[in-house]
Copies of this chain bind each other. A is one copy, B any other.
């Protein structure tokens, strides 16, 4: 028997409820819930509220008889701490089986998703792939958000916790896609987040998130003992330092018994770390891990490290961390960005994945579109993440994401895109990336398309044709952005002061060379691209990959064309097998990206009437901005490269190079952090 609920179509109300129930357009006519959970359990309350919010008529029953919704706790169901199983029941409704309230909660959201997307019921046991499924907020105590394009921080304001935020909606959204952790402060961490005053307020946040099975974590500054505690050092082997951390950790757990742990950016981009005291990353991470261990807390230690003297930046994390393999405590996990440089539109996967055989590792993705058009460009990241996750690593024949799964501790993280703007992410389409991250953290085997479809059906429309049309746009959107920004393996061409527009020409006197675009594109009279091959003076970054990838990437004929300038410096008149020169290919990709945006615009117009008017207008207006900025990127990059190639463009630019530069200078960084 399959659940057969009476559903009622309702008018769509565009609110700030993300993909949650009141932004969709069906309601359950009548819901009766019988639950094995204690009636006072906070999570039970959430479950009741969710089903009630979805129903025209809702009541809690005292016996299972006649209840079309049933929460069944079964300690022997082999579903683990967070798993669940959906089943049809005798009353034409759903029974949710779980071992824990958390499992029941995830089952409830799965059921609502199931109803809302008209999917057939999957009656297999469902367990999350990763234990820790976590957002990283780069929010600062002053209320600003680093790389935030959706207003101010939802966590902080004026040096304190921001209590005006709608934390419950945030928590519902996360729980609905399975996210169970949040780092509320920036990895460029302010020591003051560990102050006793702040911790007391953070306790309130943790209390509000707890019913949704979401743990709070903090990013901490490695110099906190000195900067906050007044010690004369923060050396991780110093006894006073060790004591300071232990006491601080104990203080936290006294307030927040289920506190998750620390996220640390150390010895990276000017941040302090153990190497300041002649110690290693392992010394630093393990010192913190030992303090957290008695409380079951963890340390997420970032591998995003590079220094100006270290040679090819793409190789440095591997060089710095590989010698430490096996030296980390078992509650430490190394957090590695998906690519070896920095969240670019397309990178090869970081070679650290799978390479550290005796160290726990986790991926760090970026939901916020730092290098992908901010909250102005439609860029669905499900495709990008799946490309990364499914890529064969050739470490034990596993995909990249699989290399992070067979561990005692497993985790999957992403930098959030939330802010105080009413729509949370600055753009309705940007919400899809938050949604997709959560779904993939729970189940990495879901397809990007299937996730897009779920999100569209819960957020925008259930009209089948419109759903498919919107999914088509989403699926091709990331490639379009890559094409007009950094095709063929180009990377890091963005502006210096913000990462919005093109600035391949930047020259900042005295600046770190590896922060300048020219370090990456290496345009010259001969050609373009970073020689990371083993030949002709290349940096030999290819050696960090397993065979057959090493040999493939090392040979421009075998290297995937979409990555070729990542690994090779090719002449402008280099011919690919399709008979096109590098120059022609650049023209075609840059202009093709622009053409694709124009196509998206046309396609979007066809949806008028099939999607809520407010969303129609929002996307229509954003696509116009995206088109202009796509043209700006295309023209800026191609006209600049032309100064080296001296070859003709095969499209008509909208801007001159001078206009592109002026646009960057005069198009002041609009403060998107305003509410």
Q: How far is the CB of A553 from chain B (nearest CB, A)?
A: 10
Residues from chain B with Cβ under 8 Å of A478 in the complex? 579
Partner of A548, one of B552, B578, B579: B552
Q: Mark A475-495, 1 if CB is under 8 A from B, else 0.
A: 111110000000000000000
Instruction: Provide the bound-state CA to CA distance between A449 and B550, in Å.
Output: 30
Residue A519 lies at the interface, judged by CB distance under 8 Å to chain B? no
Are B391 and A579 touching (Cβ within 8 A)?
A: no
Binds B, one of A58-66, A113-121, A278-286, A555-563: A555-563
Are A392 and B475 touching (Cβ within 8 A)?
A: no
Partner of A555, one of B392, B449, B551, B575: B392
Are A578 and B476 touching (Cβ within 8 A)?
A: yes
Residues from chain B with Cβ under 8 Å of A448 in the complex? 575, 579
Residue A447 lies at the interface, judged by CB distance under 8 Å to chain B? yes
Q: How far is the CB of A487 from chain B (nearest CB, A)?
A: 11
Are A392 and B577 touching (Cβ within 8 A)?
A: no
Residues from chain B with Cβ under 8 Å of A45 in the complex? none
Residues from chain B with Cβ under 8 Å of A392 in the complex? 555, 557-558
Residue A547 lies at the interface, judged by CB distance under 8 Å to chain B? yes
Are A579 and B476 touching (Cβ within 8 A)?
A: yes
Instruction: Provide the bound-state CA to CA distance between A392 and B559, in Å.
Output: 12
Return the chain B residue nearest A547 by Cβ. Answer: B548
Q: How far is the CB of A468 from chain B (nearest CB, A)?
A: 10
Q: How far is the CB of A629 from chain B (nearest CB, A)?
A: 20
Q: Mark A540-584, 1 if CB is under 8 A from B, else 0.
A: 000000011111100101101010000000000101011110000
Instruction: Provide the bound-state CA to CA distance between A448 and B578, in Å.
Output: 12
Return the chain B residue nearest A472 by Cβ. Answer: B584
Q: Given A392-B558, A557-B392, answer yes or no on A580-B476 (Cβ-Cβ < 8 Å).
A: yes
Interface centre among A548, A551, A557, A558 (most CB of B within 10 A): A548
Partner of A383, one of B479, B551, B573, B577: B577
Number of copies: 2
Residue A387 lies at the interface, judged by CB distance under 8 Å to chain B? yes
Are B383 and A579 touching (Cβ within 8 A)?
A: yes
Residues from chain B with Cβ under 8 Å of A394 in the complex? 551
Instruction: Provide the bound-state CA to CA distance between A635 and B476, in Å.
Output: 24
Q: Mark A224-251, 1 if CB is under 8 A from B, else 0.
A: 0000000000000000000000000000
Residues from chain B with Cβ under 8 Å of A560 in the complex? 558, 560
Are A575 and B475 touching (Cβ within 8 A)?
A: yes
Q: How far is the CB of A579 from chain B (nearest CB, A)?
A: 4
Residue A390 lies at the interface, judged by CB distance under 8 Å to chain B? yes
Residues from chain B with Cβ under 8 Å of A551 in the complex? 394, 547-548
Q: Give residues 430-464 of A contacting B (CB, 8 Å).
A: 447-449
Are B557 and A479 touching (Cβ within 8 A)?
A: no
Q: How far is the CB of A647 from chain B (nearest CB, A)?
A: 11
Are B391 and A557 touching (Cβ within 8 A)?
A: yes
Instruction: Provide the bound-state CA to CA distance between A577 and B391, in Å.
Output: 10
Residues from chain B with Cβ under 8 Å of A475 in the complex? 575, 579-580
Q: Mark A380-392, 1 if CB is under 8 A from B, else 0.
A: 0001000100111
Q: Give residues 120-161 of A contacting B (CB, 8 Å).
A: none
Instruction: Provide the bound-state CA to CA distance between A560 and B547, in Å.
Output: 16
Are B557 and A577 touching (Cβ within 8 A)?
A: no
Are B447 and A579 touching (Cβ within 8 A)?
A: no
Are A390 and B447 touching (Cβ within 8 A)?
A: no
Q: How far is the CB of A132 from chain B (nearest CB, A)?
A: 27
Instruction: Provide the bound-state CA to CA distance between A345 and B645, in Å.
Output: 31
Q: How far is the CB of A478 from chain B (nearest CB, A)?
A: 6
Q: How far is the CB of A122 from chain B (nearest CB, A)?
A: 20
Are A383 and B477 touching (Cβ within 8 A)?
A: no
Instruction: Provide the bound-state CA to CA distance between A160 and B580, in Å.
Output: 46
Residues from chain B with Cβ under 8 Å of A579 in the complex? 383, 448, 475-479
Q: How far is the CB of A404 from chain B (nearest CB, A)?
A: 18
Residues from chain B with Cβ under 8 Å of A550 in the complex? 548
Q: How far is the CB of A49 from chain B (nearest CB, A)?
A: 37
Instruction: Provide the bound-state CA to CA distance between A479 and B547, in Å.
Output: 30
Residues from chain B with Cβ under 8 Å of A552 in the complex? 548, 552, 558
Instruction: Provide the bound-state CA to CA distance between A110 and B627, in Å.
Output: 53
Are B577 and A562 touching (Cβ within 8 A)?
A: yes
Q: Give residues 478-519 of A contacting B (CB, 8 Å).
A: 478-479
Interface centre among A447, A477, A555, A578 (most CB of B within 10 A): A578
Q: How far is the CB of A570 from chain B (nearest CB, A)?
A: 14
Q: Given A548-B547, A548-B551, answer yes or no on A578-B562 (Cβ-Cβ < 8 Å).
A: yes
Binding site for B on A (CB under 8 A): 383, 387, 390-392, 394, 447-449, 475-479, 547-552, 555, 557-558, 560, 562, 573, 575, 577-580
- Which 4 residue pairs are nearest across A and B when measured between Cβ atoms? A548-B548, A475-B579, A479-B578, A476-B579
24 A-B interface contacts by CB (under 8 A): A383-B575, A383-B577, A383-B579, A387-B577, A391-B557, A392-B558, A447-B575, A448-B575, A449-B573, A449-B575, A475-B579, A475-B580, A476-B578, A477-B579, A478-B579, A479-B577, A479-B578, A479-B580, A547-B547, A548-B551, A548-B558, A552-B558, A558-B560, A562-B577
Give 4 new A-B contacts, CB below 8 A, not counting A383-B579, A552-B558: A392-B557, A479-B577, A548-B550, A548-B558
